[in-house]
A = this chain, B = another copy of it.
Amino acid sequence: MPRIVAERADALPALAEVFREHGYEGASLSLIGAATGLGKGSLYHFFPGGKEEMAKAVLGEIDAWFEQHVFATLREATRPEEGLAAMLDAVDGYFRSGRRVCLVGAFALGDTRDRFAREIRGYFSRWAAALCAALARGGRGAAAAAALAEEILADIQGAIVLARALDDPGAFARAVTRLRRRYEMGR
């Protein structure tokens, strides 16, 4: 059997899945070991800080992914509407059209908010800022852009909650569609 995990970063996707499915407290080292194929010794070699360091690494990778695929796109798009459309595409893909939860949102609601407050707040505030700037470049006033950015983020996060609660990914898909239509980002 080939070695799948050769360095710390290789373990992050499996690690993220465990945290997403079981939450921070529910993600036991046994589950993590099974998901990554690593024994506890290896895990503590890669993450001397234990479970907290594992979760921080996962949050950091999620942040980096959104920074690259979402926030940067929003900031760099020549036409702001293109940035918004690209954001919705990326978000729809990332959340598997509603079949995957937002780990950062789940951590925010759950027992883990205080422990990772900095990371959680950074993720959402930079997302809101990038979206707000794009909306402002699209011609909206500063206050209106900020309010709208907040509303769009709430819609996305709330749709993830509903999709999970109703066991209906369509609830998320419909949210993405209405956001696309509303800002004339349909393709």
Contacts and interface: CB of A to CB of B under 8 A. Distances in A.
Interface of A: 21-23, 25-26, 101-102, 104-106, 108-113, 117, 120-121, 123-125, 128, 147, 150-151, 153-162, 164-167, 171, 174-175, 178
A98 to B, nearest CB: 11
A154 B158 contact: yes
A112 to B, nearest CB: 8
A156 B159 CA distance: 10
B162 A159 contact: no
Copies held by the complex: 2
Given A25-B111, A124-B162, A154-B175, 8 more contacts: A25-B25, A101-B109, A105-B161, A121-B167, A147-B174, A150-B171, A157-B157, A157-B162
Contacts of A110: 23, 26, 106, 109-110
Contact of A111 (B22, B113, B155): B22
A21 B111 CA distance: 6
Nearest to A25: B25
Given A26-B25, A111-B23, A154 B165 contact: no
A24 to B, nearest CB: 8
Nearest to A108: B165
Nearest to A164: B108
A132 B124 CA distance: 30
A121 B158 contact: no
Name the residue among A21, A111, A153, A158 with the largest chain B CB count within 10 angstroms: A158
Contacts of A165: 104-105, 108, 113, 120-121, 123-124
